[in-house]
Amino acid sequence: MSANSLPTPLVDVEWVKAHLHRPEVILIDCRFALGDPEQGRQAYEQAHIPGAYYLDLNRDLSSPVQTHGGRHPLPDFQQLITKLEALGISSEPATAVVAYDATRGAFAARLWWLLRYLGHDTVAVLDGGFPAWQAAQYPLEQTPPSLPEPVQFMPRFQTHWLVDRNYVTRHKDTAAMVLIDSRSPERFRGEQEPIDPIAGSIPGASNLFWQSNLDEQGRFKTVAELRQNWATVPAADTLVVHCGSGVTACVNAIAQTLLGNAMPKLYVGGWSDWCSYHTSAGNSKQ
């Protein structure tokens, strides 16, 4: 199998089952819980898809939290690349990578975006995630696989996909940019805020809840359904997606690629970065 035959950005459980233990296909378990950071690794140790390695949102896919920059800043990329190489993920020939989680793709999408940002296009998210694998009654294992021989990963950074707070501030009131807040409608409206210290949203942003791209089983909707879901988003030269901390916004990025559109820009810091500069939503600290 050539890595170029990897369906992307999504694969189903049947594809994964047919390609288990193929050296050119690497499975990454991304299960995580924001409220219990050890839960994902513990779940992996209890049972995971055979051959899958584990990468942790906090330890592997993010860098330490600072005063600003949000709750999940981008990782130190040299450290991430070293980890990818240790797992046998090479850039040439390109290894096919399949990421999965148990949270409707929220954390697997982060790894998908990071690899795409590094120029690695042969990456997909398991549609339906670990629950779909369990529902199919496919095999599980508890023992982590042994590490392969290290390989070489040469990144091709897609730096134009990233924006920061200054970019959003400059462009949020222009017709050239549409800013999409991927959080729940309740958080967007400021009615509740279970994670960040301040409730609210960035002035000028529109809301498209990341979970609205998915059906009741946690699988992505059809292209026709996604097109209808995104029909309220106005056209603009630049689409920027964000969420609380640059994780679930990546699900909206996947939806855009499923629609055949260009990768939207990502404001990684999101609301957690934006509100760190404000005493209340919309009012800057003096």
Which parts of 96-195 fold into alpha helices (H)? 106-117, 129-135, 165-171, 185-188
Q: Which of 181, 159, 153 is nearest to 78 (CA)?
A: 153
Which residues belong to the active site?
A: 243
Q: Which of 261, 252, 262, 256 is nearest to 207 (CA)?
A: 252
The whole-angstrom separation of Cα 135 and Cα 137 is 5
Q: How many alpha carbons fall within 13 Å on the CB side of residue 224? A: 0
The whole-angstrom separation of Cα 28 and Cα 30 is 6
The three-state DSSP-derived secondary structure of 59-92 is CCCCCCCCCCCCCCCCCCHHHHHHHHHHCCCCEC
Strand 278-280 to 283-284 pairing = antiparallel
The whole-angstrom separation of Cα 208 and Cα 20 is 35
Cis peptide before 148 (omega within 30 of 0): no
